[in-house]
Amino acid sequence: MGIKGVNLGIAFLLELCALAALAYWGFQTGSSTVLKLILGFAAPVLTAVIWGRFMAPTSKTRLRGMSYLLVKILIFGIAAIALAAAGQVTLAILFAAISIVNQVLLIVWRQDALPNT
């Protein structure tokens, strides 16, 4: 496996990290145990549903081009903001930085949905 394969693996791990970040935020944010549980489960599940519908490689309704990139930036941006809001600022910055580098490499190496606009 070459560096391009590693980059694809990192992209997948970042997707999982985004879901984990949203779950962490939800469990930290709620004012009651019930609200924490609802937010902790609902935020990543809703994100996974959106990802599966519009971002997954095998989805019949997969977005392409700038629409794909904007939704991806939105999801990853919200995940980074959620981490920061939950008190994990350093982790949020690290997640955002790795996500940006990974996305740039995905575009440069044509590993993402952007070329097929």
What is the DSSP track for 21-72?
A: HHHHHHHHH-SSHHHHHHHHHHHHHHHHHHHHHHTSTT-TT---HHHHHHHH
Query: Average pLDDT of the chain?
Result: 94
CA-to-CA distance for 21 and 18, rounded, in angstroms?
5
Q: What is the DSSP secondary structure assignment for residue 1, as one 8-state letter?
A: -
Q: Write down the domain spans for the chain.
A: 3-108
Tell me the backbone φ, ψ of residue 77, rounded to 5 degrees.
-65, -45
The answer on pLDDT for 116 being more than 60 is no
Q: What is the pLDDT of residues 72-108, one digit of tens each?
A: 999 999 999 999 999 999 999 999 999 999 999 999 9
Share of the chain above pLDDT 70, in %: 96
